[in-house]
Structure 1
Amino acid sequence: MEQELISKKELLELTDISYGQLYRWKRKNLIPEDWFIRKSTFTGQETFFEKKKVLERINKIKNMKDDLSLDELADVFETVQDAPGGSPANPKIALYKEQLIERNIVTTTALNVYIQQHGEMPVYSFPSILSIYVLDQLLAAGEMNLDEGKLLLQTLEAHLKSFEGKHCELIFTRKMGISSFILVSSPNEIYFDRGVKVVARYMLTRFIEELTAKINGTEGR
């Protein structure tokens, strides 16, 4: 499936930001270089973006920039740029089980499913917390059951590291009652046969940004 694109001109008009703002955010790496897609058109070379992804990022920047400097925002978004499917640039991030629950980062249901598969840990690293958080969000959305949640954890644990330095999309499918989770580099095109139902598609960067904001206490700013 090809991602819907939006031109730079349309983006500036739709978001009511200036050319200068867009490229200032680019210099600060709030909008990564590889999000700027150059394409040939009948008028010459034009710049495009993946519409959904760039609109979500600009909305986050506009909502948070009154509370955080551009450099602080860059630190929040840095998590997305540098690691496995966007795992954190700072490997020192780790939390105790009690902190995960008390700070409302994940629910006890999702945490217990993870513990059933991996055992209880002294502390939980960011990649582990990310897996639990993704599980939690999909369970909360009512898009999968606990058995499917266990399969999701297996998929993330087995393959997320393969996406180091790449943007990664999670695709959840069902065919004849059989569930599957797919991790694919983004942007990319992927096609399914008629018997496959795509239950949900998520950019991992969305979950990473949300989780980073929860950990840093900047959620909702």
Structure 2
Amino acid sequence: MNGPEIHIAFAPELGLFVPHARRGRATTVVTDGASTLGHVVESLGVPLTEVGALLVDGRTSPFSHVPAAGERVEVCPVERPQQVPGAPLRFLLDVHLGTLARRLRLLGVDAAYESTDIGDPALAARSAAEQRVMLSRDRGLLRRRELWAGAFVYSTRPDDQLRDVLARFAPALRPWTRCTACNGLLRDATKEGVADQLHHGTRRSYDVFACCRTCGRAYWKGAHHDQLEAIVERALTEFPSRA
């Protein structure tokens, strides 16, 4: 680029996306005189899904603004909790976030998940068609314009990923109401109704069951229930207003 010089400062929360030298202080950027401010910010490594506001010389500016020489730009993070307009809050997770998807479903959050790599165009198209917030650690995917909405998942640890999504979007929590396998809603079931899925020991030891309305999978308080209960209780303790 060979055009107007502008000065950009990124909020500390966006430090993950910019080289260390640019964190916390303004840096001079030479633009081409035609690209929008949104394009300039993305070219520096920050997905626009993570930008809450752009301040140009102290005034809020749209992503479509074409910067002029000497302007000072502040790139702010999204506000939390983030408001998602339009459809009921629903998520779509890419192939790398299976554990996070299952934990969101455990809490009753509508979380669709692609267990195979169907490619960025197909994921973006599904996000738009179903009006789902795309959750991903893939910055290229989050830059696709056809996305309905998106968010970068900052951590690689499932506990931190879950906490981050709950803090950022404040979804309503309705634990034990969704199938962790397919995202369908659960209903109460009788032992006889799910008998074909039970081993002899399970039939003898348990009497309370649920069944997925979509895939038919049976659920009961089995050997791993305490671990799942701990995840649920931790979420409800940290985010009591969500229940």
TM over 0.5: no
**Which is greater in Rg?**
2
User: TM-score, normalization: structure 2?
Assistant: 0.27
User: TM-score, normalization: structure 1?
Assistant: 0.29
Identify which of structures 1 and 2 has the higher relative contact order when contacts are C-alpha pairs closer than 8 Å and 6+ apart. Answer: 1
Higher helix share: 1
